[in-house]
């Protein structure tokens, strides 16, 4: 019974190690997967949208320089349209994910969206529309009158959201690290328990199997030497106890047989 319990304990410890490993790895993997599939992707999309919008401003400034130099402006205007479309597409992709997050991040995302709309609708779109109509004077006027605070407000909103997301990524990474450390401690505790059970199993095997077998060998050797006087301990409630009981009966039978040979029936 003790041997069965020891083996069951070792098996249970092994199963606990396996289950803890799977659970810990899955938790860490979920945190890292969320960081990669959502947080990192959204951050990249917002950064790409911001960079494309900044490039629109740069190219609109270059447009005026090309006009002053008498250089062709059509490629620049086509690039401006493409960059604004890229910025809108990246923002829409990121904003779709941001609609599924918590209230704090969604509030920052809404602020960014509102301030970007102001930049695009109040400044960039009218300037681009004037250039599409070859109205360079209107373009210059709108460019000169565009308040810098519109762009600075948008930039602050973008930085606030990006900083929030970076902090969330750090929190997710810290969560994954804590899961990993917890897993290490769990492995250590289970390993120590398994070591203790192993030592107990060694002691149990020695007491329940090794010593009885050695005793049986000793009795066989004494019987072989002709000594039938040894007392055989048969008080063991297991298979080895039955073996020793059978040995005791065999010894008793030999004693009877020897007595009959010596003294007659």
Domains and CATH numbers, the chain: 2-191 (1.20.120.30), 192-263 (no CATH)
SS3 assignment, position 1: coil
Distance CA 61, CA 77 (A): 11
**Within 10 A of 247 (CB to CB), how many other CB atoms are there?**
18
Q: Is the pTM of this model over 0.85?
A: no
Task: For residue 252, give every residue at least 6 positions away whose Cβ sits within 8 Å of its Cβ, in sequence order, or none.
Answer: none
Asked whether the beta carbons of 68 and 136 are under 8 A apart, the reply is no
Instruction: Name the nearest CA neighbour of 154 among 91, 78, 62, 86.
Output: 91
Residue 121 CA to its chain's centroid (Å): 43
pLDDT tens sequence across 35-85: 555 566 777 788 888 888 889 888 888 888 888 888 888 888 899 999 999
Query: What pLDDT was estimated at residue 100?
Result: 55
Helix axes 41-69, 103-119, angle to 10 degrees: 10
Q: What pLDDT does 107 receive? A: 85
Contact 51, 94 (CB under 8 A): no
For CA atoms 190, 193, 199, 202, the dihedral sign is negative
pLDDT value of residue 82: 93
**What is the number of other CB atoms lying within 10 angstroms of the CB of residue 95?**
19
Cα-based distances in Å from 189 to 24, 176, 192:
15, 20, 5
Q: How far is CA 196 from CA 118, 120, 133, 205, in A?
A: 69, 69, 85, 14
What's the pLDDT at 93? 78
The enclosing H or E element of 154 equals: helix 148-205
What pLDDT score was predicted for residue 85?
92
Q: With H, G, I as helix, E, B as strand and everything else as coil, classify residue 237.
A: coil
The CA-to-CA distance between both ends of the chain, in Å, stands at 44
Task: Look at residue 102 and give its three-state secondary structure.
Answer: coil
Q: Which residues of the chain have pLDDT under 50?
A: none
pLDDT score of 33? 61
């Amino acid at each position: 019974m003790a041997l069965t319990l020891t083996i069951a304990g070792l098996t249970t410890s092994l199963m606990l190690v396996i289950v803890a490993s799977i659970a810990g790895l899955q938790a860490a993997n979920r945190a890292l997967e969320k960081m990669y599939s959502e947080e990192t992707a959204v951050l990249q999309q917002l950064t790409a949208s911001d960079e494309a919008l900044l490039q629109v401003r740069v190219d609109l400034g270059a447009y005026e320089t090309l006009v002053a130099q008498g250089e062709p402006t059509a490629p620049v205007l086509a690039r401006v349209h493409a960059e604004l479309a890229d910025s809108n597409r990246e923002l829409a992709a990121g904003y779709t994910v941001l609609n599924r997050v918590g209230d704090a991040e969604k509030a920052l995302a809404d602020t960014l969206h509102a301030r970007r709309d102001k930049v695009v609708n109040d400044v960039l779109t009218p300037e681009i529309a004037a250039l599409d109509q070859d109205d360079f004077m209107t373009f210059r006027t709108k460019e000169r009158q565009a308040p810098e605070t519109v762009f600075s407000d948008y930039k602050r909103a973008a930085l606030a959201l990006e900083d929030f997301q970076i902090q969330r990524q750090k929190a997710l990474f810290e969560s994954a690290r804590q899961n990993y450390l917890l897993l290490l401690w769990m492995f250590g505790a289970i390993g120590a328990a398994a070591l203790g059970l192993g030592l107990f199993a060694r002691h149990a095997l020695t007491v329940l199997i090794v010593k009885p077998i050695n005793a049986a060998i000793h009795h066989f050797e004494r019987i072989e030497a002709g000594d039938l006087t040894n007392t055989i301990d048969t008080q063991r409630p297991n298979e080895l106890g039955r073996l020793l009981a059978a040995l005791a009966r065999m010894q008793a039978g030999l004693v009877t047989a020897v007595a009959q040979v010596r003294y007659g029936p």
